Structure 1
Amino acid sequence: MEIKSMYICICRAVTDKDIRAALEEGACTMRELRQRLGVCSDCGKCGPHARKLLVEHRELQPSSMDLVVQPA
């Protein structure tokens, strides 16, 4: 079954899948999403939705504190 995508930026035809892919490829700020995909560069209405995806992605990433080896 194919997972459907939702348009986040109508002006630039950017979907949630496009944003998630850019985040997986290393984009970690709104500026980088704008540079890679063009989100928030026209009318700006996609900003809150793009930022929500960015925050969700960050929350799923392990923090550097999670990577510290604890003494036994």
Structure 2
Amino acid sequence: MIICVCRRVSDRDIARHARAGMSFDDIQFELGVAAQCGRCEGCARDIVAQCSTVHPMAALQTGGGQHEASAWASSLV
């Protein structure tokens, strides 16, 4: 879905950059999201927060030959 109409930036573009470890400011500089009219800023920031590498989606533990997920994200983009 297009989040930033002015720059034609999709939620997938924002999520991909956020998962790569970029902050909102970095993404804004790189993609131009929320740099013109600013109406998309709230939504773009929400996507960055959900996809941020600071909050990993899952932590795998190895023990007895089993892989266990100890944390999962509440929603995926």
Q: Which runs of 4+ in 1 moved over 6 A?
A: none
Query: Percent of pairs identical after alignment?
Result: 33
Cα distance, 1:44 vs. partner?
0.2
Q: Which runs of 5+ in 2 are unaligned?
A: 60-77
C-alpha RMSD of the superposition? 2.0
Question: One-letter code of the match for 2:36?
Answer: D
Structure whose residues are more often strand by fraction: 2
Q: Which runs of 5+ in 1 are unaligned?
A: 1-5, 67-72
The SS at the match of 2:44 is: helix
Structure whose residues are more often helix by fraction: 1
**Paired residues, what number?**
57
How high is the TM-score relative to the length of structure 2?
0.64
How high is the TM-score relative to the length of structure 1?
0.68
